[in-house]
Amino acid sequence: MNNTNHTPPAVPPAENGERRLLLISPAPHAHSSDTTHRLMRDVIIALLPAFAASVYFFGWDALRVAAVSIISCVALEWAIQKFLLRTPPQISDLSAVVTGLLLAMNLPGSAPWWLVVIGSIVAIGIAKMSFGGIGKNPFNPALVGRVFLLISFPVQMTHWTLPRGFAVTDAVTGATPLAVLKEGLSNGLTVEQIFDKADFTYLELLFGRIGGSAGEVSALALLAGFAWLLFRRVIRPHIPVTILATVAVFGGILWWANPGRFIDPLFHLLTGGVLLGAVFMATDYVTSPMHPKGMVIFGVGIGMLTMLIRVFGSYPEGISFAILIMNAAVPLINKYTKPKRYGKEVKHG
Amino acid sequence: MIINNSHANRCAVFRKGRLRTFTVGGIHPDDNKLAAGSPLQTLPPEGTATVFLDQHIGAPAAAVVSKGERVKTGQLIAKAGGFVSANIHAPVSGTVLAIEPAADIAGRRQPAVVIRVEGDEWLETIDRSPDIVRELPTDSTVIIRKIADAGIVGLGGAAFPTHVKLSPPAGKKAEILIINAAECEPFLTSDHRVMLEFGEQALIGALLLKKALHASKAFIGIESNKPDAIRRLQHIIQENGYGLQVVRLKKRYPQGGEKQLIDAVVRRQVPSMGLPVDVGVVIQNIGTALAAYEAVQKNKPLIENSITVTGKSLPRQINVLARVGTPLSKLAALAGGVPGDTGKIVCGGPMMGKAVVNLEAPTTKVTSALLFIPFREARRKEASNCIRCAKCVKACPMGLEPYLLVKLAQRGMHGELKANRVYDCIECGCCLYSCPAYIPLLDYIRMGKLRVRG
């Protein structure tokens, strides 16, 4: 009886005459358009305004640093996957491009090529691939690269080019606003005296005409990137918002207590890579908590540590260290912050 | 229990009138309701009908006919094998060819009654007139008995015998009945067509279910992508003064999940491992309500159901009223034949439906759709490393952590799986749908659930 013998359903052959078989799998049979590649592409797009600003202010140097960083990061990841891990290279997921671009944004425009390459080796080779590649690294690779360079090559890493654009070929160097402030305060000057001598205004902080690493200078461009990431639902707002709020509240309390000794919170928000760190570094999926509650703890922790380092530590700025320290706490945060479950739990045996 | 009502409130501002939705997780797949505009067409029986004896949750039914016997449409052919079981009736008239295993959609052999179709002679007790019978029986036990006799099961997909659901365990009372007309699965339009074409009958069915439960309130939850159905049912309710209330829901998957629908409509959450009746609610599908009307008011057992036949490359998008036991291939032929670019055939919706390997398999009482997925969309992409984006956590409507459950399942950590409530998973597929690394999250979680259950 033919109804008890099942035959595979007749799917007409493909146009090229190839016989096709039906696929089977458990449900679901539909998938969102999200892919790792798409998410990384959105991060790159979000970084473009800040990158464009850095090119505008620092000229060809910024372009050169970014090119060297991206090429060395991607090449290194490819080589490690191909020759050391012997797994099919997955550089097409663009994650190495993001790491390279973020590393470049964290370096001074004047960084020599070998410094950038060393940073890439530390970021990709040590911080990312030695743990097993994308998704496995406990610390943000670009930040590990930057902090390694900051500690090992302090001279080159604090040799900031002042923004002069394309017009001038011989770059002028100077200190970042935070370094100016820190040095002034340690020499016993008040905030007002320091600002009288300094040559930057708040408007310049907002648009980026200040000394600093390539990506940290234009607050406005970074905020545009933040808006894009939120619009594309790549990140949730919890981490950046809590970091910025904590920095503002911490700075605000100090300023309110003694405006002569401490600078106002707006200055803290606009300088030293707080925005770059809060929007692009702290929100790295792999090294940040999974749940909103955990994200808030993580953000508050970064904000507090950043301010402690800035105000009481010996480094003028601290967000890189703060993020790396909090990266280490992420597994613990994930363990103790669970999402809101549906329905009450019942006792079971 | 209100957790996060802000989204529903926000929608209320934009759309004049409150759209409700559930409060944990959820996704927004393209709804692809391609067949929404296509009226139900009746497929006359021909050839053979293969009727499985196990079409429901619980004990299989036991055949009460023998080979060579003549049966009429609507005649009992298999009796419920216990309280949690359901009667099965002849969907066609003709001669019983065999009582033997037949291959189902997955190619597995299940005991079945095979009937050769000869004419379409109905049992005389069945009222086949189009007149609507509005007068309800006065005795609620009559309603439950007739529903049990008619072999009605939950048509939302679970196929749980309806009379069991209408008899809550001692000490538990269902004060609220919610009719599930969310139809949140993409592509599915059969419930939508039922509401448009058999709206009043389905509403009378809802009243019957409400009466059987002695419920004080009854809601009908419909997603806002079916505005014509919402208007139609509201109009009928108003005109007749029925004690029912339409609740407009925001389009969101899995709104039609029992637990999610209860959360959306009455803001209660069923406890872990509990039943809806634990929070005073019983849910019935809109198709079940129509079947209840036909059983109680018309003496008609559950022998046909509405099925959507759809797919992006299918020549015709159709909704069919087909007898139970109709071969799927006949439905495909009615829609213009299996498209040349078909990569996967699914019985049900794309989120929870089952892949078909045998197109000659018959429909069952709960078949809701036959979906043809083109090759380019059918193949899952290769999985890459988890990037810990937490999209699965955000999507999970039970508030679980799919990424973590997968790791625990892979390592066989049963205690941890239990502690993280793996048994709460409703297998809606939101996690796998959202994963940018294409990790087969739900497959591993199912494995974990099986192991925990022992």
Supply the angle between the helices B140-149 and B286-298 in degrees, to the nearest 10.
Answer: 100
Residue A81 within a domain: yes
End-to-end CA distance of chain B: 33
Query: Phi and psi for B371 in degrees, rounded to 5?
Result: -120, 130
Name chain A contacts of B426, Cβ cutoff 8 Å: none
Q: Do the domain assignments include residue B61?
A: yes
Residues A118 and A204 reside in one and the same domain: no
Contact yes or no for B90/B77 (Cβ under 8 A): yes
Of the candidates A3, A136, A348, the beta carbon closest to that of B50 is on: A3
| B100, B350, B446: residue with CB nearest A28 | B350
Residues A280 and A322 in one domain: yes
**Pairing of the two strands B40-42 and B318-323:** parallel
Query: What local confidence, expressed as pLDDT, does residue B7 receive?
Result: 46
Give me the residue label for tokens 């993580």.
A298
Does residue A249 share a domain with residue A306? Answer: yes
Q: Specify whether B285 is located in the same domain as B421.
A: no
Interface A-B, measured as beta-carbon pairs within 8 A, has a size of 205
Q: Is residue A319 part of a domain?
A: yes
Q: Rg of the Cα trace of chain B?
A: 22
Instruction: Examine residue A103 and state whether it is found in any structural domain, yes or no.
Output: yes
Q: Which residue of chain B comes nearest to A23, CA vs CA? A: B344
Q: How far apart are the first and last CA of chain A?
A: 50
Q: How many residues does chain B have?
A: 454
For residue B309, the chain A residues in CB contact (below 8 A) are: none
Counting the structural domains of chain B, the total is 3
Contact A31 B438 (CB under 8 A): yes
Structure tokens at B428: 């809606």
Cα-atom radius of gyration of chain A, to the nearest Å? 24
Q: Which residue of A has its CA nearest to B97?
A: A1
B388/A31 CB distance under 8 A:
no
In a domain, A123, yes or no: yes
B216 and B321 assigned to the same domain: no
Which chain B residues are closer than 8 Å to A23 by Cβ? Answer: 343-344, 355, 378-379
Longest Cα–Cα distance of chain B, Å, equals: 65
* Final residue belonging to a domain, choices B377, B410, B436: B377
Tell me which H or E stretch contains A247: helix A238-257
Quick one: how far is CA B433 from the chain centroid? 20
Residue B335 pLDDT > 80: yes
What is the tens place of the pLDDT at every residue in B138-185?
Answer: 888 999 999 999 999 999 878 899 999 999 888 888 999 999 999 999
* A292 and A202 in a common domain: yes
Q: What is the mean pLDDT of residues B373-400?
A: 93
Residue of A nearest to B29 (CA): A32
3-state SS, residue B57: coil
**0.90 surpassed by complex ipTM:** no
Mutation target among B370, B372, B384 for the A interface, most CBs of A within 10 A: B384
Q: Are residues B361 and B410 in the same domain?
A: no
Q: Are residues B168 and B294 in the same domain?
A: yes
How confident is residue A149, by pLDDT bands cut at 50, 70 and 90?
very high
User: Does the residue B382 lie in any domain?
Assistant: no
Q: Which residue of A has its CA nearest to B390?
A: A290
Mean pLDDT of B370-390: 92
The pTM score is 0.88
DSSP state of A154: H
- Does B356 touch chain A if contact means CB atoms closer than 8 Å? yes
Question: Which strands make up the sheet holding B304-311, listed edge to edge?
Answer: B40-42, B318-323, B304-311, B369-374, B342-347, B354-355
| Contact: B360, A6; criterion CB under 8 Å | yes
Distance from CA of A63 to the nearest CA of B (A): 29
Q: Is there a domain that residue A101 lies in? A: yes
Q: How far is B74 from chain A (nearest CA, A)?
A: 22
Amino acid, single-letter form, for residue B366: V
At a CB cut-off of 8 Å and minimum separation 6, what does B440 contact? B380, B383, B432
Nearest residue, CB atoms, B358 vs list A6, A29, A36? A6
Regarding whether A152 and A254 lie in a shared domain, the answer is: no
C-alpha to C-alpha distance for A160 and A111, rounded to whole angstroms: 9
pLDDT in tens, B204-235: 999 999 999 999 999 999 999 999 999 999 99
Report which of residues A277 and B5 the model is more confident about. A277
Domain hosting residue A142, numbered range: 36-156
Q: Which residues contact B241 (CB under 8 A, 6 or more apart)?
A: none
Note whether A202 and A68 are same-domain residues.
Answer: no
Instruction: For chain B, positions 276-335, list CB contacts with chain A under 8 A.
Output: 327, 329
Using pLDDT thresholds of 50, 70 and 90, give the confidence band for residue B10.
Answer: very low
Same domain, A125 and A254: no
- Residues 53-112, chain B: which have Cβ within 8 Å of A? 97-98, 100-103, 107, 109
Question: Same structural domain for residues B404 and B428?
Answer: yes
Last residue of a domain, one of B272, B298, B324: B298
Q: For residue A31, list chain B residues with Cβ-Cβ distance below 8 A.
A: 380-381, 432-433, 438
Residues B409 and B276 reside in one and the same domain: no
B12 and B156 share a domain? yes
Half-sphere exposure of B144 (CA within 13 A, CB side): 15
Shortest Cα distance from B405 to chain A (angstroms)?
13
Contacts with A288 from chain B: Cβ below 8 Å:
388
3-class secondary structure, B117: strand
Q: What is the pLDDT of residues A64-119, one digit of tens each?
A: 999 999 999 999 999 999 999 888 888 889 999 999 999 998 888 778 999 999 99
Query: What is the number of H-type helices and E-type strands within chain A?
Result: 15, 2
Closest CA to B444 of B396, B411, B397: B411
Q: Is A23–B436 a contact, with Cβ atoms under 8 angstroms apart?
A: no
pLDDT at A219 over 60: yes
Cβ neighbours of A2 in B, within 8 Å: 360
Closest to A213 (Cα-Cα) out of A301, A142, A285: A142
d(CA B95, CA A147): 83
- Neighbouring C-beta atoms of residue B246, cutoff 10 Å: 21
Chain A residues touching B99 at Cβ < 8 A: none
DSSP line for B334-388: HTTS--TTEEEEEES-TTT-EE-S-TTPBP-TT--EEEEEEHHHHSPPPP-----
B417: left (phi over 0), alpha (psi -120 to 50) or beta: alpha
**Is B259 an interface residue toward A (CB < 8 Å)?**
yes
B137 falls within a domain: no
Is pLDDT at B367 greater than 70 in this prediction?
yes
Residue A2 has pLDDT above 80, yes or no: no
Is any Cβ of chain A less than 8 angstroms from the Cβ of B233? no
Q: Quote the pLDDT of residue A316.
A: 73
The reply to whether A181 and A305 lie within a common domain is: yes
The enclosing domain of B350 has a CATH number of: 2.40.50.100
The CATH number of residue B278's host domain is 3.40.50.11540
Residue-wise burial string across A288-307, b where 16 or more C-beta atoms lie within 10 A, e elsewhere: bbbbbbbbbbbbbbbbbbbb
Q: Confirm whether A248 is domain-assigned.
A: yes
Confidence of residue B409 (pLDDT cuts 50, 70, 90): very high
pLDDT of residue A59: 80
Edge-first strand listing for the sheet containing B94-103 = B48-52, B109-117, B94-103, B70-71
Torsion of CA B267, B268, B272, B274, to 10 degrees: -140
* A124, A59: one domain: yes
- Which residues of chain A neighbour B353 with C-beta distances below 8 Å? 27, 29
- Residues in chain A closer than 8 A to B386 (CB atoms): 135
When mean pLDDT is compared across A4-18, A22-36, A41-55, A222-236, the lowest value belongs to A4-18
Q: Inspect the interface and report whether the beta carbons of A30 and B357 lie closer than 8 Å.
A: no
Residues B240, B110 share a domain: no
pLDDT in tens, A175-216: 677 777 777 777 777 777 776 666 666 666 666 556 666 666
Last residue of a domain, one of A156, A187, A222: A156
Å between A90 CA and nearest CA of chain B: 9
> What's the pLDDT score for residue B4?
44
| pLDDT interval class at A5 (50, 70, 90) | very low
Q: How confident is the model at residue B393 (pLDDT cuts 50, 70, 90)?
A: very high
Identify the H or E element spanning B181: strand B176-181
**Residues A28, B442: C-beta atoms closer than 8 Å:** yes
Nearest CB neighbour to A346, from listed B272, B401, B436: B272
Degrees (nearest 5) of the Cα angle A283, A285, A290?
95
Residue B14 is predicted with a pLDDT of: 40
Contact B27 A32 (CB under 8 A): yes
Q: Does B357 touch chain A (CB under 8 A)?
A: yes
Residue found under tokens 């499985």:
B52
Domain boundary among B257, B276, B298: B298
The answer on A271 and A186 residing in a single domain is yes
pLDDT at A57: 79
Structural domain includes residue B1: no
Identify which of A146, A124, A142 has the alpha carbon closest to the alpha carbon of residue A78.
Answer: A124
Bond before A177 cis per omega within 30 degrees: no
Do A242 and A321 belong together in one domain? yes
Comparing alpha-carbon positions, the chain B residue that sits nearest to A27 is B352
Which residues constitute the domain of residue B338?
A: 40-126+301-377
**CA–CA min distance A289, chain B (Å):** 8
* Whole-number pLDDT of residue B87: 95
